[in-house]
Structure 1
Amino acid sequence: MLKIDAHQHFWIFDPVRDSWINDEMLVIKHDFLPADLLPVLQQNGVDGCVSVQASQSEEETRFLLDLAAENPFVKGVVGWVDLKADNLDERLQYYKQFDKLKGFRHILQSEPDKQYMLQPQFKKGIAGLQRHGYTYDILIYPEHLRYAAQLAAEFPDQPFVVDHLAKPHIKDQEISDWEKDMRALAQYQNVHCKISGMLTEADWKTWKPEDFVPYLDVVFNAFGINRVMFGSDWPVCLLAGGYKGTMEVINGYCEKLTATEQALFWGNNAAAFYNL
Structure 2
Amino acid sequence: MDKKYFFFDIDRTLGLDISQVIPADTVYCLRRLQQEGHFIAIATGRLQCDGWRTAHRYGIPSMVSDGGNSLTLDGKVIEMEGLPMENCRALLHELERRHLPWAIFPDNTLLRYTPYEEFRHLGQANLFTTVVQPIDIDQVQRIYKLVHVRPAPGDPPLSTYGLSRLPYITNTYLVEPTDKGAGIRRLLAHIKARPEDAVVFGDGLNDLAMFVPPFFRIAVGNARPELKERADFVTKANDKGGILYACRKFGWL
TM-score surpassing 0.5? no
TM-score norm. by structure 2 comes to 0.33
Q: Where is the strand percentage greater, Structure 1 or Structure 2?
A: 2
Greater Rg by CA: 2
TM-score norm. by structure 1 comes to 0.31
Q: Where is the helix percentage greater, Structure 1 or Structure 2?
A: 1
